[in-house]
Structure 1
Amino acid sequence: MNRLWIAAAAAAALVGGCSSAPDKKSEAVPVPKGFDVPAGVTLTKGGTKLTEDESASVIYQVGTKATSAITVTVAAVRKGSIKKDFTFFSLDDATKASTPFYVDVTVTNEGPAGLGGAALPIFAHDSSNTNLPANDIVGTFRPCRNSTLPKSFLPGATANLCLVYLVPKGKALQSVDLQTGSARDAITWTP
Protein backbone atom coordinates (compact mmCIF):
# COMPACT_ATOMS: atom_id res chain seq x y z
CA MET A 1 0.00 0.00 0.00
CA ASN A 2 1.26 3.44 -0.86
CA ARG A 3 2.36 5.50 2.16
CA LEU A 4 2.10 9.20 2.23
CA TRP A 5 4.16 11.14 4.77
CA ILE A 6 3.06 14.57 5.76
CA ALA A 7 4.51 17.31 7.90
CA ALA A 8 4.68 20.94 8.99
CA ALA A 9 2.21 23.86 8.73
CA ALA A 10 -1.25 24.10 10.22
CA ALA A 11 -4.29 25.99 8.93
CA ALA A 12 -7.27 27.45 10.74
CA ALA A 13 -9.71 24.87 12.07
CA LEU A 14 -12.98 24.95 10.17
CA VAL A 15 -15.03 23.25 12.87
CA GLY A 16 -17.29 25.52 14.98
CA GLY A 17 -15.70 27.10 18.03
CA CYS A 18 -12.06 26.91 16.91
CA SER A 19 -10.68 30.30 16.01
CA SER A 20 -6.90 30.66 16.12
CA ALA A 21 -4.85 29.95 13.03
CA PRO A 22 -1.44 28.48 13.85
CA ASP A 23 1.57 29.45 11.75
CA LYS A 24 1.52 27.45 8.51
CA LYS A 25 5.34 27.12 8.48
CA SER A 26 6.87 24.79 11.07
CA GLU A 27 10.23 23.09 11.12
CA ALA A 28 9.19 19.87 12.92
CA VAL A 29 9.06 17.61 9.88
CA PRO A 30 8.85 13.81 10.08
CA VAL A 31 10.59 12.84 6.85
CA PRO A 32 11.46 9.29 5.71
CA LYS A 33 15.08 8.37 6.36
CA GLY A 34 17.30 9.29 3.44
CA PHE A 35 14.78 11.70 1.85
CA ASP A 36 15.78 15.32 1.34
CA VAL A 37 12.87 17.74 0.98
CA PRO A 38 13.46 19.74 -2.23
CA ALA A 39 14.56 23.35 -1.79
CA GLY A 40 11.64 25.76 -1.64
CA VAL A 41 9.10 23.12 -0.59
CA THR A 42 7.36 23.48 2.78
CA LEU A 43 5.52 20.33 3.80
CA THR A 44 1.95 20.50 5.07
CA LYS A 45 1.11 19.08 8.49
CA GLY A 46 -1.23 16.09 8.62
CA GLY A 47 -4.73 17.07 9.74
CA THR A 48 -4.59 20.45 8.00
CA LYS A 49 -7.95 21.73 6.77
CA LEU A 50 -7.99 23.75 3.54
CA THR A 51 -10.47 25.32 1.15
CA GLU A 52 -10.54 25.16 -2.64
CA ASP A 53 -7.49 26.66 -4.37
CA GLU A 54 -5.24 26.17 -1.34
CA SER A 55 -2.23 23.88 -1.82
CA ALA A 56 -0.72 21.12 0.29
CA SER A 57 2.78 19.73 -0.15
CA VAL A 58 3.50 16.18 1.00
CA ILE A 59 6.00 13.40 0.55
CA TYR A 60 4.48 10.72 -1.65
CA GLN A 61 5.99 7.25 -1.44
CA VAL A 62 4.93 4.78 -4.12
CA GLY A 63 5.72 1.38 -2.65
CA THR A 64 9.47 0.88 -2.64
CA LYS A 65 10.13 2.20 -6.13
CA ALA A 66 9.71 5.99 -5.87
CA THR A 67 9.48 8.78 -3.31
CA SER A 68 8.89 12.37 -4.28
CA ALA A 69 7.44 15.57 -2.86
CA ILE A 70 4.21 16.64 -4.53
CA THR A 71 2.05 19.73 -4.25
CA VAL A 72 -1.70 19.15 -4.57
CA THR A 73 -4.37 21.79 -5.08
CA VAL A 74 -8.09 21.04 -5.15
CA ALA A 75 -9.18 23.69 -7.64
CA ALA A 76 -12.92 22.93 -7.73
CA VAL A 77 -15.56 20.47 -6.60
CA ARG A 78 -18.48 20.25 -9.04
CA LYS A 79 -21.78 18.45 -8.49
CA GLY A 80 -22.91 16.38 -11.47
CA SER A 81 -26.08 14.58 -12.50
CA ILE A 82 -26.45 10.80 -12.83
CA LYS A 83 -29.34 11.20 -15.30
CA LYS A 84 -27.54 13.72 -17.51
CA ASP A 85 -23.89 12.67 -17.24
CA PHE A 86 -24.26 8.89 -17.08
CA THR A 87 -26.98 8.43 -19.72
CA PHE A 88 -25.07 5.78 -21.67
CA PHE A 89 -23.75 3.84 -18.66
CA SER A 90 -25.21 0.58 -17.37
CA LEU A 91 -25.67 1.27 -13.65
CA ASP A 92 -27.11 -0.72 -10.76
CA ASP A 93 -29.95 0.78 -8.69
CA ALA A 94 -27.69 2.04 -5.88
CA THR A 95 -25.42 3.83 -8.36
CA LYS A 96 -28.42 5.34 -10.18
CA ALA A 97 -29.49 6.86 -6.85
CA SER A 98 -26.04 8.32 -6.06
CA THR A 99 -24.81 11.85 -6.67
CA PRO A 100 -21.67 12.34 -8.79
CA PHE A 101 -19.04 14.89 -7.80
CA TYR A 102 -16.16 15.95 -10.05
CA VAL A 103 -13.02 17.12 -8.28
CA ASP A 104 -10.53 19.17 -10.29
CA VAL A 105 -7.02 18.68 -8.90
CA THR A 106 -3.65 20.10 -9.88
CA VAL A 107 -0.58 18.05 -8.93
CA THR A 108 3.03 19.19 -9.25
CA ASN A 109 5.93 16.76 -8.86
CA GLU A 110 8.48 18.67 -6.77
CA GLY A 111 11.03 15.84 -7.05
CA PRO A 112 13.29 14.04 -6.89
CA ALA A 113 11.60 10.89 -8.35
CA GLY A 114 9.36 10.32 -11.34
CA LEU A 115 5.80 9.27 -10.45
CA GLY A 116 4.41 8.34 -13.85
CA GLY A 117 1.10 6.47 -13.72
CA ALA A 118 0.90 6.46 -9.91
CA ALA A 119 -2.56 6.56 -8.34
CA LEU A 120 -3.10 9.35 -5.85
CA PRO A 121 -4.67 8.59 -2.45
CA ILE A 122 -7.40 11.24 -2.73
CA PHE A 123 -10.84 10.33 -1.36
CA ALA A 124 -14.30 11.84 -1.03
CA HIS A 125 -15.30 11.89 2.64
CA ASP A 126 -19.07 11.63 3.10
CA SER A 127 -21.47 12.43 5.95
CA SER A 128 -21.41 8.80 7.18
CA ASN A 129 -17.66 9.20 7.88
CA THR A 130 -16.78 6.98 4.91
CA ASN A 131 -13.88 7.62 2.52
CA LEU A 132 -14.90 6.89 -1.06
CA PRO A 133 -12.23 6.14 -3.68
CA ALA A 134 -12.33 7.82 -7.06
CA ASN A 135 -14.26 5.84 -9.66
CA ASP A 136 -12.37 4.53 -12.67
CA ILE A 137 -14.16 5.40 -15.88
CA VAL A 138 -13.03 3.69 -19.06
CA GLY A 139 -12.91 5.83 -22.16
CA THR A 140 -13.63 9.52 -22.56
CA PHE A 141 -15.99 10.97 -20.00
CA ARG A 142 -16.88 14.48 -21.06
CA PRO A 143 -17.72 16.01 -17.64
CA CYS A 144 -14.44 14.88 -16.11
CA ARG A 145 -11.34 14.02 -18.16
CA ASN A 146 -7.79 13.04 -17.23
CA SER A 147 -8.20 11.03 -14.03
CA THR A 148 -4.67 9.61 -13.76
CA LEU A 149 -1.14 10.97 -13.67
CA PRO A 150 0.62 10.85 -17.04
CA LYS A 151 2.84 7.85 -17.79
CA SER A 152 5.81 10.17 -17.55
CA PHE A 153 5.51 12.48 -14.54
CA LEU A 154 9.04 13.70 -13.86
CA PRO A 155 10.18 16.33 -11.35
CA GLY A 156 8.92 19.77 -12.36
CA ALA A 157 5.89 18.36 -14.18
CA THR A 158 2.35 19.51 -13.40
CA ALA A 159 -0.83 17.59 -14.20
CA ASN A 160 -4.44 18.74 -14.14
CA LEU A 161 -6.69 15.85 -13.14
CA CYS A 162 -10.41 15.37 -12.64
CA LEU A 163 -11.56 12.67 -10.24
CA VAL A 164 -15.09 11.20 -10.22
CA TYR A 165 -16.78 10.27 -6.93
CA LEU A 166 -20.24 8.74 -6.54
CA VAL A 167 -21.69 9.69 -3.16
CA PRO A 168 -24.47 7.28 -2.05
CA LYS A 169 -28.07 8.41 -1.76
CA GLY A 170 -28.81 10.11 1.55
CA LYS A 171 -25.14 11.05 2.14
CA ALA A 172 -23.47 14.43 1.66
CA LEU A 173 -19.93 15.22 0.52
CA GLN A 174 -18.10 16.65 3.55
CA SER A 175 -14.54 17.00 2.22
CA VAL A 176 -11.94 15.84 -0.26
CA ASP A 177 -9.14 14.07 1.62
CA LEU A 178 -5.51 13.52 0.68
CA GLN A 179 -5.15 10.35 2.77
CA THR A 180 -2.07 9.49 4.76
CA GLY A 181 -1.45 6.22 6.54
CA SER A 182 -4.28 7.09 8.94
CA ALA A 183 -7.53 8.97 8.44
CA ARG A 184 -6.74 11.43 11.24
CA ASP A 185 -3.61 12.56 9.34
CA ALA A 186 -5.51 13.30 6.13
CA ILE A 187 -5.26 16.77 4.65
CA THR A 188 -8.79 17.89 3.86
CA TRP A 189 -10.36 20.38 1.49
CA THR A 190 -13.87 21.57 2.32
CA PRO A 191 -15.86 22.49 -0.79
Structure 2
Amino acid sequence: MSTNTMRRAATGVIGLAVAGTLSLTGCKNGNEEVAPAQSSAPAGQGGQDSAQPSTPASPSADGGQAPAAGQAKPGQTFKIGETAQVPFSSGSTKGAIALTITTVEQGQPADLDSLKLGDKVKGMIPYYIRYSVKNTGTTDLSFASVSHMKGLLPDGSEAQGVSVIGKFEKCKDETLPKGFTNGQTQTSCAIALAPSAQTKVVGAEYWGDPYNNLNDSKGLFWK
Protein backbone atom coordinates (compact mmCIF):
# COMPACT_ATOMS: atom_id res chain seq x y z
CA MET A 1 0.00 0.00 0.00
CA SER A 2 1.38 3.41 -0.97
CA THR A 3 1.97 6.23 1.47
CA ASN A 4 -0.83 8.33 -0.01
CA THR A 5 -3.26 5.42 0.07
CA MET A 6 -2.45 4.93 3.76
CA ARG A 7 -3.02 8.64 4.33
CA ARG A 8 -6.46 8.45 2.71
CA ALA A 9 -7.37 5.47 4.90
CA ALA A 10 -6.24 7.34 8.00
CA THR A 11 -8.33 10.35 6.96
CA GLY A 12 -11.40 8.11 6.75
CA VAL A 13 -10.85 6.87 10.31
CA ILE A 14 -10.47 10.42 11.56
CA GLY A 15 -13.65 11.47 9.75
CA LEU A 16 -15.60 8.71 11.47
CA ALA A 17 -14.27 9.67 14.88
CA VAL A 18 -15.13 13.34 14.37
CA ALA A 19 -18.64 12.36 13.35
CA GLY A 20 -18.96 10.27 16.50
CA THR A 21 -19.40 7.08 14.49
CA LEU A 22 -16.81 4.73 15.87
CA SER A 23 -18.28 1.64 14.26
CA LEU A 24 -20.57 1.59 11.24
CA THR A 25 -20.79 -2.02 10.20
CA GLY A 26 -23.59 -4.47 9.71
CA CYS A 27 -24.48 -7.76 8.13
CA LYS A 28 -26.89 -8.91 5.45
CA ASN A 29 -28.43 -12.36 5.37
CA GLY A 30 -26.05 -13.43 8.11
CA ASN A 31 -22.89 -13.47 6.04
CA GLU A 32 -22.69 -10.28 4.03
CA GLU A 33 -20.93 -7.43 5.80
CA VAL A 34 -20.96 -3.73 5.04
CA ALA A 35 -18.41 -1.16 6.12
CA PRO A 36 -19.14 2.54 5.47
CA ALA A 37 -16.19 4.92 5.48
CA GLN A 38 -16.22 8.70 5.53
CA SER A 39 -13.75 11.46 4.83
CA SER A 40 -14.62 15.04 5.68
CA ALA A 41 -11.83 16.59 3.62
CA PRO A 42 -13.26 18.66 0.72
CA ALA A 43 -12.20 17.77 -2.79
CA GLY A 44 -9.45 20.13 -3.76
CA GLN A 45 -7.92 20.02 -0.28
CA GLY A 46 -5.72 17.39 1.32
CA GLY A 47 -5.27 15.35 -1.84
CA GLN A 48 -8.68 16.05 -3.48
CA ASP A 49 -7.78 19.03 -5.70
CA SER A 50 -10.14 19.25 -8.68
CA ALA A 51 -8.03 21.72 -10.67
CA GLN A 52 -6.62 20.28 -13.88
CA PRO A 53 -2.84 20.63 -14.11
CA SER A 54 -1.34 22.14 -17.24
CA THR A 55 1.34 19.45 -17.43
CA PRO A 56 1.32 15.76 -16.42
CA ALA A 57 2.50 15.01 -12.91
CA SER A 58 5.82 13.30 -12.35
CA PRO A 59 6.16 9.71 -11.12
CA SER A 60 5.90 9.47 -7.35
CA ALA A 61 8.65 8.35 -5.05
CA ASP A 62 6.80 5.12 -4.29
CA GLY A 63 6.83 3.95 -7.90
CA GLY A 64 3.50 5.31 -9.23
CA GLN A 65 3.60 6.40 -12.85
CA ALA A 66 1.88 9.44 -14.31
CA PRO A 67 -0.69 8.70 -17.06
CA ALA A 68 0.71 8.68 -20.58
CA ALA A 69 -0.29 11.07 -23.36
CA GLY A 70 -3.97 10.74 -24.24
CA GLN A 71 -4.88 9.43 -20.80
CA ALA A 72 -6.78 11.40 -18.17
CA LYS A 73 -4.57 13.67 -16.06
CA PRO A 74 -4.71 13.83 -12.26
CA GLY A 75 -7.34 16.34 -11.19
CA GLN A 76 -9.11 16.37 -14.55
CA THR A 77 -12.87 16.98 -14.41
CA PHE A 78 -15.44 15.42 -16.76
CA LYS A 79 -19.14 15.87 -17.21
CA ILE A 80 -21.32 12.95 -16.14
CA GLY A 81 -21.64 10.78 -19.23
CA GLU A 82 -18.15 11.60 -20.54
CA THR A 83 -15.43 8.96 -20.81
CA ALA A 84 -11.92 9.07 -19.37
CA GLN A 85 -9.07 6.99 -20.75
CA VAL A 86 -7.48 5.49 -17.65
CA PRO A 87 -4.36 3.36 -17.02
CA PHE A 88 -5.47 0.46 -14.85
CA SER A 89 -3.50 -1.43 -12.23
CA SER A 90 -4.66 -4.14 -9.85
CA GLY A 91 -1.87 -6.06 -8.13
CA SER A 92 0.38 -7.41 -10.85
CA THR A 93 -2.27 -6.84 -13.54
CA LYS A 94 -1.84 -3.70 -15.63
CA GLY A 95 -3.82 -2.50 -18.59
CA ALA A 96 -5.99 0.32 -19.90
CA ILE A 97 -9.70 1.07 -19.55
CA ALA A 98 -12.27 3.61 -20.69
CA LEU A 99 -14.17 4.71 -17.57
CA THR A 100 -17.54 6.49 -17.76
CA ILE A 101 -19.75 7.73 -14.93
CA THR A 102 -23.12 7.25 -16.57
CA THR A 103 -25.40 8.58 -13.82
CA VAL A 104 -25.64 9.51 -10.15
CA GLU A 105 -29.04 8.18 -9.15
CA GLN A 106 -30.93 8.99 -5.96
CA GLY A 107 -32.28 6.04 -4.01
CA GLN A 108 -34.66 5.74 -1.05
CA PRO A 109 -33.73 5.48 2.65
CA ALA A 110 -35.59 2.16 2.80
CA ASP A 111 -33.08 0.73 0.31
CA LEU A 112 -30.60 0.51 3.18
CA ASP A 113 -32.84 -1.59 5.43
CA SER A 114 -31.42 -4.88 4.20
CA LEU A 115 -27.91 -3.76 5.19
CA LYS A 116 -29.05 -3.61 8.84
CA LEU A 117 -27.26 -0.38 9.69
CA GLY A 118 -30.16 0.96 11.73
CA ASP A 119 -29.76 4.40 13.33
CA LYS A 120 -26.23 4.70 11.98
CA VAL A 121 -27.69 5.83 8.63
CA LYS A 122 -30.83 7.51 9.98
CA GLY A 123 -31.74 10.51 7.86
CA MET A 124 -29.18 9.65 5.17
CA ILE A 125 -30.13 9.24 1.53
CA PRO A 126 -28.38 6.65 -0.65
CA TYR A 127 -27.14 7.60 -4.10
CA TYR A 128 -25.97 5.11 -6.68
CA ILE A 129 -22.95 6.02 -8.78
CA ARG A 130 -23.35 3.92 -11.91
CA TYR A 131 -20.40 3.56 -14.23
CA SER A 132 -19.15 1.52 -17.15
CA VAL A 133 -15.73 -0.01 -17.71
CA LYS A 134 -14.40 -0.93 -21.16
CA ASN A 135 -11.13 -2.77 -21.71
CA THR A 136 -9.14 -0.67 -24.18
CA GLY A 137 -5.79 -2.37 -23.66
CA THR A 138 -4.19 -5.67 -24.61
CA THR A 139 -4.28 -7.25 -21.12
CA ASP A 140 -6.95 -9.71 -20.05
CA LEU A 141 -8.50 -8.08 -16.96
CA SER A 142 -10.49 -11.13 -15.86
CA PHE A 143 -11.61 -10.94 -12.21
CA ALA A 144 -10.02 -7.53 -11.61
CA SER A 145 -11.97 -5.00 -9.54
CA VAL A 146 -12.48 -1.42 -10.70
CA SER A 147 -13.51 0.30 -7.48
CA HIS A 148 -12.04 3.36 -5.68
CA MET A 149 -15.17 5.37 -6.47
CA LYS A 150 -16.50 8.10 -4.15
CA GLY A 151 -19.50 10.45 -4.19
CA LEU A 152 -19.11 14.23 -4.04
CA LEU A 153 -21.36 16.67 -2.18
CA PRO A 154 -22.20 20.19 -3.48
CA ASP A 155 -19.45 21.82 -1.37
CA GLY A 156 -16.84 19.49 -2.87
CA SER A 157 -16.48 17.27 0.19
CA GLU A 158 -16.71 13.49 -0.05
CA ALA A 159 -19.96 11.71 0.66
CA GLN A 160 -19.86 8.80 3.07
CA GLY A 161 -19.51 5.51 1.24
CA VAL A 162 -20.73 2.00 1.92
CA SER A 163 -18.69 -1.03 0.88
CA VAL A 164 -20.84 -4.14 0.61
CA ILE A 165 -19.34 -7.63 0.81
CA GLY A 166 -21.90 -9.76 -0.96
CA LYS A 167 -24.87 -8.81 -3.15
CA PHE A 168 -26.88 -5.61 -2.94
CA GLU A 169 -29.39 -5.67 -5.77
CA LYS A 170 -29.93 -1.91 -5.84
CA CYS A 171 -26.26 -1.29 -6.61
CA LYS A 172 -24.16 -4.20 -7.84
CA ASP A 173 -20.40 -3.84 -7.53
CA GLU A 174 -18.86 -6.87 -9.18
CA THR A 175 -15.42 -7.88 -10.33
CA LEU A 176 -14.79 -8.01 -14.05
CA PRO A 177 -15.87 -11.33 -15.59
CA LYS A 178 -13.70 -14.07 -17.02
CA GLY A 179 -12.48 -13.26 -20.51
CA PHE A 180 -12.57 -9.48 -20.02
CA THR A 181 -10.33 -8.73 -22.99
CA ASN A 182 -10.05 -5.77 -25.37
CA GLY A 183 -13.45 -4.34 -26.29
CA GLN A 184 -15.35 -6.02 -23.46
CA THR A 185 -17.60 -3.74 -21.34
CA GLN A 186 -19.19 -4.11 -17.91
CA THR A 187 -21.31 -1.81 -15.74
CA SER A 188 -20.82 -1.40 -12.01
CA CYS A 189 -22.08 0.71 -9.13
CA ALA A 190 -20.88 2.41 -5.94
CA ILE A 191 -22.99 3.62 -3.00
CA ALA A 192 -22.66 7.16 -1.63
CA LEU A 193 -24.68 8.56 1.29
CA ALA A 194 -25.97 12.12 1.42
CA PRO A 195 -26.22 13.35 5.04
CA SER A 196 -29.82 14.56 4.61
CA ALA A 197 -32.62 15.02 2.11
CA GLN A 198 -31.53 18.65 1.68
CA THR A 199 -28.02 17.71 0.48
CA LYS A 200 -27.52 15.81 -2.76
CA VAL A 201 -24.66 13.75 -4.10
CA VAL A 202 -23.82 15.67 -7.25
CA GLY A 203 -20.73 13.97 -8.63
CA ALA A 204 -18.10 11.28 -8.29
CA GLU A 205 -14.36 10.82 -7.93
CA TYR A 206 -12.22 7.91 -9.12
CA TRP A 207 -8.92 7.53 -7.25
CA GLY A 208 -7.60 4.13 -8.30
CA ASP A 209 -3.99 3.65 -9.42
CA PRO A 210 -2.15 5.69 -10.57
CA TYR A 211 -4.28 8.58 -9.30
CA ASN A 212 -3.91 7.55 -5.65
CA ASN A 213 -0.12 7.40 -5.50
CA LEU A 214 1.13 10.43 -7.39
CA ASN A 215 2.83 13.13 -5.36
CA ASP A 216 -0.18 15.45 -5.60
CA SER A 217 -2.63 12.57 -5.12
CA LYS A 218 -5.36 13.96 -7.39
CA GLY A 219 -8.22 11.78 -8.60
CA LEU A 220 -10.53 12.11 -11.60
CA PHE A 221 -13.83 13.94 -11.15
CA TRP A 222 -17.26 13.76 -12.77
CA LYS A 223 -19.79 16.54 -12.09
TM-score (normalizing by structure 1): 0.68
Contact 1:73–1:107 at 8 Å: present in 2 too? yes
Q: Helix, strand or coil for the counterpart of 1:46?
A: coil
Partner of 2:35: none
Provide the rounded CA distance (Å) in 1 between the counterparts of 2:212 and 2:56. 18
Partner of 2:102: 75
The answer on 1:57 being equivalent to 2:90 is no
Partner of 1:90: 116
Select the structure that is richer in helix: 2
Partner of 1:135: 163
* Alignment CA distance shift 1:58-1:134 (3 Å): farther
Cα deviation for residue 138 of structure 1 reads 2.7
Partner of 1:6: none
Partner of 1:176: 204
Partner of 1:42: 70
Q: Helix, strand or coil for the counterpart of 2:120?
A: helix
For structure 1, which runs of at least 5 residues remain unmatched after alignment? 4-21
Give a deviation string over 1:107-165, Cα, whole Å, max 9, x none. 01112323323242211133472364453163351x333x1232423332210112222
* Alignment CA distance shift 1:131-1:81 (3 Å): closer
Give a deviation string over 1:6-59, Cα, whole Å, max 9, x none. xxxxxxxxxxxxxxxx9xxx996868899x97xxx9311221111111000111
Cα deviation for residue 78 of structure 1 reads 0.5
Q: Which amino acid aligns with 1:81?
A: Q
* Alignment CA distance shift 1:72-1:128 (3 Å): closer
Contact 1:124–1:133 at 8 Å: present in 2 too? yes
Select the structure that is richer in strand: 1
Provide the rounded CA distance (Å) in 2 between the counterparts of 1:168 and 1:137. 22
* Alignment CA distance shift 1:86-1:99 (3 Å): same
Of structures 1 and 2, the one scoring higher in RCO (CA 8 A, sep 6+) is 2
Where does 1:130-169 land on structure 2 (aligned, <5 Å)? 130=158, 132-136=160-164, 138-141=166-169, 143-145=170-172, 147-152=173-178, 153-169=180-196
Aligned sequence identity (%): 20
Cα deviation for residue 101 of structure 1 reads 0.4
Q: CA RMSD in A?
A: 3.5
Provide the rounded CA distance (Å) in 1 between the counterparts of 2:168 and 2:159. 25
Give a deviation string over 1:165-191, Cα, whole Å, max 9, x none. 22334754242001122675211111x
Provide the rounded CA distance (Å) in 1 between the counterparts of 2:222 and 2:64. 29
| Paired residues, number | 163
Provide the rounded CA distance (Å) in 2 between the counterparts of 1:134 and 1:42. 32
For structure 2, which runs of at least 5 residues remain unmatched after alignment? 5-51
Partner of 2:219: 186
Provide the rounded CA distance (Å) in 2 between the counterparts of 1:67 and 1:134. 26
Give a deviation string over 1:90-115, Cα, whole Å, max 9, x none. 22313132110011101011123233
* Alignment CA distance shift 1:97-1:137 (3 Å): farther
